[in-house]
């Protein structure tokens, strides 16, 4: 299509659909998304694949996923794929099927004729000789046309990914982030604008792999931000091994908290997977990352192609070779299993979760942990504040490390979410360099963010406070407002 004609037509259709999409059903934004990318489903069915439920009865794959607690289907789009799989017609057919089955929908634009990921961001053949200006128009047109075709079929996806695992940008070389961050940002904006032109309520995701790699995410999104890019949600992939998922999940939690506070955007785990033949480890990994994503205020967790078994050499599905799901898929059925036990978090003055002191953060008395301690003003009502996330409502145990070089008690009134619940004694320890733990206090926390404060009840102020440790299932640090 001639570019100018295309733009003129796009403008007309945009106007029509702007009108239209205000009547589209409101996105059910409040519920946690659990789901799967099943883009291979039609190709697998065409080669004779069928799936069975836990009891060995053959069923529609989407029904099996729904019966395992899933509510979301993700679908990738390729520009002009050989064979047609993941081209616009195939995507629309799958989206209609998912919508009719009651699923929420995420569309994932690769801007390639085949796989786009951290190792390859190959331009579609039809765009190969285009200038950068043309590439921006290509991204806009392809995104607009695909969204438009979906809209014509009554589908306004709740989420749309502009690019897939764009760790180093997209449409190489022009959009290679390390070489030209501005081009990457402008391509993201081309996609963003096209999505919103057709479906203003759709949330635009920029997606980077290795959700545990905070430095990578800061580099990518700092670059996008400083070049004026627009996006709504930060998407992450996570593919750990049975031996390192605990470490990577904790790092991913920290990264999710950092992304939320640094950019003020939602976060979502848009791809996870683990080897299908390690179902016990995979289930534990999934339960934990779902709990941590909830704790971080994240928006959802999606498994990548769980239905793959004996298929194209892909080993990170969640299906047995007998056609039934592995137990890993049960992780998406929440409520049946408690969150992982024994999580504890220590909040330090230099870390997320420390929300300030009426006084100073000092480091002049040895023996503290972290980078120092909170020295409150010597006055009644001088306080120290923290914020803690609880996966679920329940009892959590709080304990402070402190030093008090005076001869008297320097107690603190404990306030949880604004309510005074008890008084914590912080008695003399003999010297300002002698640190000790307070008695522990068990308090009820609500699910999600909780504000915790110690406030001086005497004119001497508080003792010096080194840290707060929170013990209990699924406690984590939460960014302060
Ligand atoms: C000393 C001490 C401080 C402490 C203060 C107090 O100045 O160095 O760390 O906070 O006494 O009495 O509160
Ligand atoms: Ca003091
Ligand atoms: Ca400290």
Annotate 433-471 with b (16+ C-beta within 10 A) or e (fewer): eebbebeebebebeeebbbbbbbbbeebbbbbbbbbbbb
Alpha-carbon distance values, 342 to 74, 401, 473, 476 (Å) = 33, 20, 5, 11
Quick one: tokens of 236? 């992450």
Length of the chain: 481
The neighbour count for residue 24, using CB atoms within 10 Å, is 16
- For the Cβ of 376 lying below 6 angstroms from any atom of ligand 1, the answer is no
- For the Cβ of 375 lying below 6 angstroms from any atom of ligand 1, the answer is yes
The separation between the first and the last C-alpha atoms of the chain, rounded to the nearest angstrom, is 49
- For the Cβ of 378 lying below 6 angstroms from any atom of ligand 1, the answer is yes
The protein residue with its alpha carbon nearest to ligand 1, atom 11, reads 405
Prior bond to 173 cis, omega within 30?
Answer: yes
d(CA 9, CA 164): 28
The answer to whether 403 and 476 have CB atoms below 8 angstroms apart is: no
Residue whose CB lies within 8 A of the most ligand 1 atoms, among 368, 380, 434, 464, for a mutation test: 464
According to DSSP, the β-strands at 412-416 and 448-456 are antiparallel
The answer to whether 400 and 454 have CB atoms below 8 angstroms apart is: yes
User: Counting ligands in written order, which one lies closest to the CA of residue 405?
Assistant: 1
Instruction: Mark out the alpha helices in 130-278 (DSSP H runs).
Output: 132-152, 181-198, 214-226, 245-263
pLDDT at 475: 83
Q: How many CA atoms does the CB half-sphere of 434 hold within 13 Å?
A: 10
Quick one: tokens of 65? 């996923």
**Whether 271 is catalytic:** yes
Catalytic residue among 3, 45, 173, 271: 271
pLDDT at 343: 67
Over residues 284-332, the pLDDT tens digits come to 999 999 999 998 899 999 999 999 999 999 999 999 999 999 999 999 9
Question: Could you say which residues of the chain have pLDDT below 50?
Answer: 1-8, 10-12, 14-29, 336-339
**Whether 305 is catalytic:** no
The answer to whether 249 and 274 have CB atoms below 8 angstroms apart is: no
d(CA 33, CA 105): 10
d(CA 277, CA 317): 9
Over residues 344-395, the pLDDT tens digits come to 788 999 888 999 999 999 999 999 998 999 999 999 999 999 999 887 778 8
Quick one: tokens of 416? 């949880």
d(CA 174, CA 182): 10
* pTM (two decimals): 0.66
d(CA 289, CA 355): 25
d(CA 185, CA 169): 8
Q: State which ligand 1 atom lies nearest to the alpha carbon of 375.
A: 10
CA 255-256-262 angle, 5° bins: 80
pLDDT at 447: 82
Angle formed by the axes of helices 132-152 and 88-100, nearest 10°: 40
According to DSSP, the β-strands at 300-304 and 266-272 are parallel
């Amino acid at each position: 299509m001639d570019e100018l004609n295309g733009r003129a037509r796009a403008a007309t259709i945009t106007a029509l659909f702007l009108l239209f999409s205000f009547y589209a059903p409101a996105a059910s934004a409040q519920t946690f998304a659990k789901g799967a990318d099943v883009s291979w489903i039609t190709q697998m069915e065409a080669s004779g694949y069928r799936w069975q439920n836990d009891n060995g009865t053959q069923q529609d794959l989407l029904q099996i996923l729904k019966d395992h607690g899933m509510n979301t289907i993700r679908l990738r789009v390729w520009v002009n794929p050989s064979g047609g799989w993941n081209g616009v017609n195939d995507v629309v057919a799958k989206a209609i099927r998912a919508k009719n089955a009651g699923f929420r929908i995420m569309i994932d634009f690769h801007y390639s004729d085949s796989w786009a990921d951290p190792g390859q961001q190959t331009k579609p053949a039809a765009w190969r000789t285009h200038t950068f200006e043309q590439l921006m128009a290509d991204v806009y047109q392809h995104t607009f046309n695909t969204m438009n075709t979906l809209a014509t079929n009554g589908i306004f996806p709740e989420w749309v990914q502009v690019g897939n695992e764009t760790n180093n940008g997209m449409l190489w070389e022009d959009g290679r982030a390390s070489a030209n961050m501005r081009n990457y940002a402008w391509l993201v904006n081309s996609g963003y604008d096209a999505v919103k032109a057709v479906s203003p309520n759709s949330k635009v995701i920029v997606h980077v792999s290795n959700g545990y790699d905070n430095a990578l995410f800061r580099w990518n999104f700092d670059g996008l931000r400083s070049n004026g890019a627009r996006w709504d949600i930060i998407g992450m992939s996570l593919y750990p091994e049975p031996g390192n998922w605990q470490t990577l999940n904790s790092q991913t939690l920290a990264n999710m908290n950092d992304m939320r506070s640094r950019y003020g955007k939602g976060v979502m785990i848009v791809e996870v997977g683990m080897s299908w033949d390690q179902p016990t480890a995979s289930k534990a990994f999934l339960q934990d990352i779902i709990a941590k994503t909830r704790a971080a205020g994240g928006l959802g967790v999606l498994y990548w192609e769980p239905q793959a078994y004996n298929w194209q050499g892909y080993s990170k599905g969640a299906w047995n070779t007998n056609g039934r799901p592995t137990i890993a898929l049960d992780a998406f059925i929440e409520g049946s299993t408690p969150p992982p036990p024994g999580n504890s978090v220590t909040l330090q003055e230099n870390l997320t979760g420390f929300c300030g002191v009426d006084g100073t953060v000092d480091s002049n008395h040895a023996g503290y942990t972290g980078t120092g301690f909170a020295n409150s003003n010597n006055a009644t009502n001088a306080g120290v504040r923290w914020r803690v996330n609880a996966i679920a409502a329940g009892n959590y145990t709080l304990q402070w490390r402190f030093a008090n070089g005076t001869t008297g008690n320097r107690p603190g009134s404990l306030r949880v979410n604004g309510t005074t619940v008890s008084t914590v004694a912080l008695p003399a320890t003999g010297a300002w360099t002698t640190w000790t733990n307070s008695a522990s206090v068990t308090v009820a926390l609500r699910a999600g963010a909780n504000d915790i404060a110690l406030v001086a009840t005497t004119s001497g102020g508080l003792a010096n406070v080194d840290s707060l440790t929170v013990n209990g299932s699924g406690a984590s640090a939460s960014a302060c407002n």
